[in-house]
Structure 1
Amino acid sequence: MVTIKDIARKAGVSISTVSCALNGSPKVTSKTAAKIHAVAKELNYVPNAAARSLKTRETKIIGIFLSDFSGAFYGDLLQGTKETLTKKGYDLVVCSGKKSHSMLPEGIIDGAIILDVSFDSEEIVRYADRGHKLVVLDREIAHSNINQVLLDNKAGATLAMEYLIEEGHRTIYAVTGPASSYDSKQRLRAVMQVAERTADVKLIVIEGDFEKTGGKLAAEQVMADLREESAAVFCFNDEMAIGIINYIAESYPDTRIGQQLHIIGFDNTELASYTHPRLTTINYSKRKWGELAAEQLIKLINGDTVDNERIYVTLLQGNSVRKAT
């Protein structure tokens, strides 16, 4: 592996001069700098990122930690994050799994955006206590080195419930996400609050998993209960809502979705626009979520003061939109 010592030897200059030239220091004349860069190119010199990191204490790399990459949710989130970081001169690495957590203490990344249940909150606080800059998208943590950019789950779930109640439904199924999901917990809490303050509403909670398979299992229970009555289902994400729609289309083709069975999702993924009738869902900008998370993290890294942020939601019914109040 070529080092700056090799460049210095061939260029006939000191190691410190090579280091200054490669780092763009004005202390080196343009003629000498040009000679050094030419030698570096000739020798196929590649800067040692780890060594540079030790010296500058930055890698210009940000990590985003996700529980999963499957489904239609993550593309826009990652695109918004990447575009913002690129403008700020940072690269993005996408991480998943327990072993990838070591990228923080090892100094491979300058900071992290976390949407990953494999991190427990105590672990995140430990990293923050050591000075690591973090933005969390899936939990509430008060710490000077941690910023929260959270989805307004309460408003979204409240919009969905109030809409179904206004439509005349008095039996409402709520299909949750995994028990470990912060977003699912927040949505369930809001759903239960609306049901508790509304007379004669029967709420039935079904534990789901944010996957189409979870929607299929929920649909089996709903259809076993439905018989001749009408009901409504609020799925805590679009994946499960589409799982229900697919199951009913295959197993109960005479059931009229939107009449006998009203279904609402959450996330407004691209697939939601292809259902018939179009899936009513809770909409927000996943790209904006990623952009804002990246912006907040860069501010933290630069030592700027930041406030926690919230991503606002609307209810999308076909082509009409209802905002939270």
Structure 2
Amino acid sequence: MANIKDIAKQAGVSISTVSYALNGSPKVTAETSARILAIAKELQYTPNAAARNLKKQETKVIGVFLSDFNGAFYGELLQGMKEGLKQSGYDLVACSGKQSHRLLPQRMIDGAIVLDESFSSEELLKYADLGHKLVVLDRDLNHPNVNQVLLDNKAGARLAVEYLIELGHRKLYVVTGPKGSFDSRQRLQAVKQVLSRHPHIQYIEMEGDFTKASGALAGLQIAQHFSEPAAVFCLNDEMAIGMYEYLTTTNIRVGRDISLIGFDNIEISQYTQPRLATIDYSKQKWGWLSSEQLLKLIAGEYVEHERIYVTLIKGDSVGAALSSHFTEPF
């Protein structure tokens, strides 16, 4: 592939003259510029966008780093980010995996939105020290070049557990998310804070990973030891849907024998029968606000940390606690 040096050699001019001509600079005469452009076309020269962007110190591209792309949650979040950039002239590129981290130090993007536990906080602070603009959705970081747009996980978890307690439930299963997940840790901390005030409640913690499969597995484990009605708080809707689907294959009925509540209010949760109880918030607003905050950082404006608030959707998958009544064989 031809480069500027090749064009300069064939045209008999300096590299800087070729650069001026390719960028339409008036420093080069029309005749010389026309000759250089003709040679560039003949050699099938393609500009190196990375080098040009590095020189200009902007790419007009925003990166969003995600742990993965599975589940309905990410689609709404990304749509919100895209909407937030619509009038700005910026494009959005979604990334996942360790290799994608190179986009930041190589300045292939002008800033980043991070919801990805594969980044350590130390790594992000190092980039912030180098002047990179970052919005984090999954951790507490204090730095002038970092803005936090965090979901109010603790409030949501408190709403869910207190609702179950108000209905008289005395046995609570909690299906957690991945160990490295900030959201899961925050929600679990709030659960334990609430339960510390209710020591009479039997608490069983089950490991999940925010996928339907892990929810189904937790449902299987609950069914194998089922003896009395209980409440289950899955720390996201994907796991709650997985558990719900598994329990439909048993004699255990959601809303009667198991009171089930999730977190995220993904679209499919609206169509379960009974309707899944869950914690609601706007994924699109979360994405839109994160884009808006990042654009302000890039523009050098002062921004304060933001929080996305949550509400409880009671649904029909949660019922009042009843005395033990399940006698049918599995």
TM-score bucket (shorter structure): 0.7 to 0.9
1:122 aligned residue: 122
2:178 aligned residue: 178
Distance between the aligned counterparts of 2:130 and 2:184, measured in 1? Answer: 30
Deviation sequence 1:76-96 (CA, Å, 0-9, x none): 111111222232111111111
Q: Residues 285 and 25 of structure 1: is their aligned pair in 2 closer, same or farther, counting only changes over 3 Å?
A: farther
Deviation at 1:54, TM superposition (A): 2.5
Deviation sequence 1:163-204 (CA, Å, 0-9, x none): 111122111111110111110010001011111113532222
1:109 aligned residue: 109
Distance between the aligned counterparts of 1:301 and 1:67, measured in 2? Answer: 24
Question: Tell me, what secondary structure is at the counterpart of 2:225?
Answer: helix
Deviation sequence 1:45-70 (CA, Å, 0-9, x none): 75432232132111111111111111
**For residues 231-270 of structure 1, what are the structure 2 equivalents within 5 Å?**
231-250=230-249, 253-270=250-267
Aligned residues: 316
Segments of 4+ moved more than 4 angstroms: 1-8, 14-28, 36-47
1:201 aligned residue: 201
Distance between the aligned counterparts of 1:149 and 1:41, measured in 2? Answer: 47
Structure 1 gaps, min length 5: 9-13, 320-325
Q: Residues 90 and 40 of structure 1: is their aligned pair in 2 closer, same or farther, counting only changes over 3 Å?
A: farther
**For residues 12-91 of structure 1, what are the structure 2 equivalents within 5 Å?**
47-91=47-91
Question: Tell me, what secondary structure is at the counterpart of 2:148?
Answer: strand
| Aligned residue identity for 1:235 | C
Alignment RMSD (CA, Å)? 3.1
1:314 aligned residue: 311
| Aligned residue identity for 1:306 | V
Distance between the aligned counterparts of 2:252 and 2:72, measured in 1? Answer: 27
1:322 aligned residue: none
Deviation at 1:4, TM superposition (A): 8.0
Moved more, 218-227 or 277-286: 218-227
Distance between the aligned counterparts of 1:66 and 1:54, measured in 2? Answer: 24
Moved more, 103-112 or 16-25: 16-25
CA contact 1:195–1:202 (8 Å) conserved in 2: no
Distance between the aligned counterparts of 2:190 and 2:221, measured in 1? Answer: 23
| Aligned residue identity for 2:289 | L
**Identical columns (%):** 64
Distance between the aligned counterparts of 2:20 and 2:88, measured in 1? Answer: 24
Deviation sequence 1:256-294 (CA, Å, 0-9, x none): 211211100011111212211011111111111111111
Deviation sequence 1:94-147 (CA, Å, 0-9, x none): 111111111100111111111111111111111111111111110101111111
| Aligned residue identity for 1:83 | E
Q: TM-score, normalised by structure 2?
A: 0.84
Question: Tell me, what secondary structure is at the counterpart of 1:272?
Answer: helix
Deviation at 1:37, TM superposition (A): 10
1:277 equivalent to 2:274? Answer: yes
Deviation at 1:243, TM superposition (A): 1.0
Distance between the aligned counterparts of 2:156 and 2:19, measured in 1? Answer: 54
2:140 aligned residue: 140
CA contact 2:223–2:252 (8 Å) conserved in 1: no
Distance between the aligned counterparts of 2:21 and 2:257, measured in 1? Answer: 73
CA contact 2:247–2:253 (8 Å) conserved in 1: no
Distance between the aligned counterparts of 1:62 and 1:159, measured in 2? Answer: 35
Distance between the aligned counterparts of 1:194 and 1:48, measured in 2? Answer: 57
2:160 aligned residue: 160
Distance between the aligned counterparts of 1:44 and 1:86, measured in 2? Answer: 33
| Aligned residue identity for 1:230 | P
Q: Residues 224 and 125 of structure 1: is their aligned pair in 2 closer, same or farther, counting only changes over 3 Å?
A: same
Q: Residues 206 and 22 of structure 1: is their aligned pair in 2 closer, same or farther, counting only changes over 3 Å?
A: same
Question: Tell me, what secondary structure is at the counterpart of 2:72?
Answer: coil
Question: Tell me, what secondary structure is at the counterpart of 2:127?
Answer: helix
